[in-house]
Structure 1
Amino acid sequence: MIRRKHYLNLVLLSATAIAAGLTSCQQQAKNNDKMLAANVDTAGVKQYLSQPIIRNIYTADPSAHVFEGKIYVYPSHDVEAGVAENDNGDHFDMRDYHILSMDSVGGNVTDHGVALSLKDIPWAGRQLWAPDAAFKNGTYYLYFPLKDKNDVFAIGVATSKSPAGPFKAEPKPIAGSFSIDPAVFTDEDGSTYMYFGGIWGGQLQRWKNGKYDANGSKTDLQQDDAPAINCKVAKLNANMKEFDGEVKDAAIIDSAGKPLLGKDHDRRFFEGSWMHKYNGKYYFTYSTGDTHLLAYAIGSKPTGPFVYSGTFMQPVDGWTTHHSIVEFKGKWYIFYHDTQLSGKTHLRNVKVTELKHEADGHIAMIYPNKNKQ
């Protein structure tokens, strides 16, 4: 009888231990979830300023606008194409666009599905890179960079009566357009401008003389002591599908009025431009590319020149930062991306955080990874 009681006690103790172990495992799982929710990875290494706004697909290069009282985001749609990473960016092999919307920052995000697909663009070759959008006269316009059948980037346009699409592409790209990263800005007088260009894989360095040089440099470098390559700017005409006049440089200069030089990698333009207007000044923001900073330059005209004024975002996880800036309900926000979800350069996720203008006109520094402040 004593042995039986002892046996039962052992069974009870074992069951209790197993239950405790299960509870411990369950608690550890909950703790892991809490750590992720607190913007910290399970190793406790990285602490993020914000979390991805959507997780069901990979998104990047977010262009945000306020349409019909909501924020609409026009991002790239990253996919695993099975292409090895290289300097030309062939591993960024996007095939369509999804449009996202939200009623409030931090609220629910709606994925409106495919708005435009590669197969529906008559002049398509490959690689739908970072898009932007605009609205005028009852029509929404989606601007997109795409390689044609000769593997040369140009910028196309598609239209819709809804900000969520679907969009129908024009049969040909915009005449006179080239390179990547269109960013479209409409000024208070109704004039609309497109800023575009990106070096290395974006091919801007191959357009030095106004014609495409297939054998041109594969890097962002000109001579180190020569003026750096500038972003391009062109005014759009009333139909929003053509350039109104010639393509010009959106020149960035220093406080002494001199152009930034090619060797100035922490300040000169690389890709990912954006324009917003604040207190009557034009803020031209852009990525420095290989140094992974977001920088800004301020001008008195939408076409520049723009005086370099500093950096405002430290590097994100991944290759570089492609961003947009939008005012919504009295606050300014920056949409950007990193690689938190995948850890892979070509599979990114969009994020958003508040952007603050200082009293002196400068933009406050943003640290996307809190532990790198």
Structure 2
Amino acid sequence: MIQNLKPWLLATLAVLGLQSAHAQNPFITSQFTADPTARVFNGRVYVYPSHDIPAAPGRGRAGWFVMEDYHVFSSANLTDWTDHGVIVTQNKVPWVKPDSYSMWAPDCIERNGKYYFYFPTTPKDTTINGKGFTIGVAVADKPTGPFVPQPLPIKGVRGIDPNVLIDKDGQAYLYWSQGNIYGAKLKANLLELAEEPKTLGELPTQGLKEGPYVFERKGIYYLTYPHVEHKTERLEYATSSSPLGPFTVKGVLMDESPTGCWTNHHSLLQFNNQWYLFYHHNDLSPQFDKNRSVRIDSLSFAADGSINKVVPTLRGVGLTDARQKIQLDRYSRLSPQGAAIAFLDAATPFRGWKTVFTGAGGWVQYGGVAFGRQTPKTVLLRVTSATGATLQIRLDHAAGPLLAEVTVPKGGAWQEIKVPVLSCQPGTHAIYVAPTAKTGTVEVDWIRFE
């Protein structure tokens, strides 16, 4: 199982993964990530997630969340992501209980050229805020750090999942959760509460509520949060005319995971005139939902300001350059029969997935491929087929122009096959891949046009 992977192997895979670009879900595949807070700083998107790691003897609690540090990732286009490395780690924060492995969901905000990173964890001195989690702050001159932790956590705050809103008038608010969801004004230094916390009590009374994320749009304040209505968390939201309520519950913005991932945690972001939902799932660890991976999907609003429900996708957002590796397994559409997705190697899931065609009738469509103005001359595929097979690649859909036909020789090993492109059109298109009739099983790792 994935939680038993050796640390050296995980580290090696992480290094290899940093060389890859991802326009699909999950968009970070070099390590486990969860609880993504996304922010735009200086025209670039920065994502501050928590960092799940497998438990090991002396390292965390088996069967539970294990987190020792935070990374930050950034992108200019939501397609190509850079890991800027560790920004805060548990045993270099003065007030944190050593080796507590409880660096849970964070947030980061900017004011006057300074970046304030908020994070919850277990304190070594419970006389400050009592037992349980509390929330601290680390400050930097750049969104990537180096971040310097404050010597003590925020006084008067007990809980997890910090979120900060700076309102239009400049007033900052801190939100967090601990059984209920709380909010309070922050002082101008963003390091202290300016008032006693307020319980945001207009929310559902039954079921776990946590992970608040508050934003303002067109004069409406949206309080979004995970809530367990049945067995696992779904994402809900409430609205108000004031940052601290009272709030009115409006509905669900993402349903429970169909595969049973217990948690979800999220943030919403407007970037280049489009809204996005950042959230997590357990794609890279389907048998253990405490090792999670972050995702992005597009989000929209109805005319009355309500949030249209987001349906999770594997394709995610952003364009994929036709001259990069196109991972068909992160599809836009997949046939109900004759095609399936599997890990390349179940023992090392960070290597990613493959598309498996099991005969005629199977197909996969991958949207948002940017061919640009120059027509590619060849297409390269990494494929394998124990029986031999023939694949057709078409533009846009099943009846679209034939881009290439690929004969895959019989054999058990992966091989790279290059064939000429028969015809192509400039611009952005979907590609449609399917085996021909009476073909055998064939597996595809990736496709790349040249």
TM-score by length of 1: 0.71
**AA paired with 1:159?**
V
Matches within 5 A, 1:263-274: 265=207, 270-274=209-213
- Of residues 181, 205, 210, the one that matches 1:261 is 205
Distance 1:80 1:231 in 2: 29
* Residue 236 in structure 1 maps to residue 186 in structure 2: yes
Greater relative CO, 1 or 2 (CA 8 Å, sep 6+): 1
Give runs of ≥4 in structure 1 deviating > 3 Å. none
- Of residues 197, 211, 215, the one that matches 1:247 is 197
Distance 1:123 1:152 in 2: 13
**AA paired with 2:249?**
Y
Unaligned runs of 5+ residues in structure 2 are 1-22, 315-332, 334-450
Distance 1:130 1:291 in 2: 18
Instruction: Kindly indicate whether the alpha-carbon contact (under 8 Å) linking 1:114 and 1:166 is maintained by their aligned counterparts in 2.
Output: no
Instruction: Kindly indicate whether the alpha-carbon contact (under 8 Å) linking 1:50 and 1:368 is maintained by their aligned counterparts in 2.
Output: no
Instruction: Kindly indicate whether the alpha-carbon contact (under 8 Å) linking 2:232 and 2:262 is maintained by their aligned counterparts in 1.
Output: no
Distance 1:121 1:140 in 2: 17
Instruction: Kindly indicate whether the alpha-carbon contact (under 8 Å) linking 2:234 and 2:254 is maintained by their aligned counterparts in 1.
Output: yes
- Of residues 103, 122, 128, the one that matches 2:76 is 103
The residue number in structure 2 matching 1:286 is: 225
Instruction: Kindly indicate whether the alpha-carbon contact (under 8 Å) linking 1:315 and 1:368 is maintained by their aligned counterparts in 2.
Output: no
* Residue 302 in structure 1 maps to residue 232 in structure 2: no
- Of residues 94, 111, 119, the one that matches 1:136 is 111
Distance 2:239 2:24 in 1: 27
Distance 2:271 2:312 in 1: 21
The secondary structure found in structure 1 opposite 2:188 is coil
Structure 1 vs Structure 2: percent identity of aligned residues?
A: 41
Instruction: Kindly indicate whether the alpha-carbon contact (under 8 Å) linking 1:65 and 1:326 is maintained by their aligned counterparts in 2.
Output: yes
The secondary structure found in structure 1 opposite 2:91 is helix
Q: CA deviation at 1:52?
A: 0.9
- Of residues 315, 336, 339, the one that matches 2:282 is 339
Distance 1:315 1:368 in 2: 10
The secondary structure found in structure 2 opposite 1:286 is strand
Distance 1:352 1:338 in 2: 11
Distance 1:293 1:319 in 2: 9
Instruction: Kindly indicate whether the alpha-carbon contact (under 8 Å) linking 1:50 and 1:353 is maintained by their aligned counterparts in 2.
Output: no
Distance 1:338 1:304 in 2: 30
Distance 1:124 1:84 in 2: 21
The residue number in structure 1 matching 2:295 is: 351
Distance 1:369 1:157 in 2: 34
Distance 2:145 2:285 in 1: 28
Distance 1:357 1:291 in 2: 25
Q: CA deviation at 1:251?
A: 2.8
Distance 2:198 2:108 in 1: 21
**AA paired with 1:276?**
F
Unaligned runs of 5+ residues in structure 1 are 1-48, 86-90, 198-203, 206-229, 254-259
TM-score by length of 2: 0.59
Which structure has the highest strand share of the two? 2
Instruction: Kindly indicate whether the alpha-carbon contact (under 8 Å) linking 1:251 and 1:304 is maintained by their aligned counterparts in 2.
Output: no
- Of residues 293, 305, 324, the one that matches 2:267 is 324
- 1:214-237 superposed Cα distances (whole Å, 9 cap, x missing partner): xxxxxxxxxxxxxxxx30001111
Q: CA deviation at 1:50?
A: 5.2
* Residue 68 in structure 1 maps to residue 42 in structure 2: yes
The secondary structure found in structure 2 opposite 1:61 is strand
The residue number in structure 1 matching 2:170 is: 190
Instruction: Kindly indicate whether the alpha-carbon contact (under 8 Å) linking 1:60 and 1:336 is maintained by their aligned counterparts in 2.
Output: yes
Distance 1:322 1:244 in 2: 27
- Of residues 78, 81, 94, the one that matches 2:52 is 78
Aligned Cα RMSD in Å? 1.7
Distance 2:111 2:299 in 1: 27
Instruction: Kindly indicate whether the alpha-carbon contact (under 8 Å) linking 2:297 and 2:313 is maintained by their aligned counterparts in 1.
Output: no
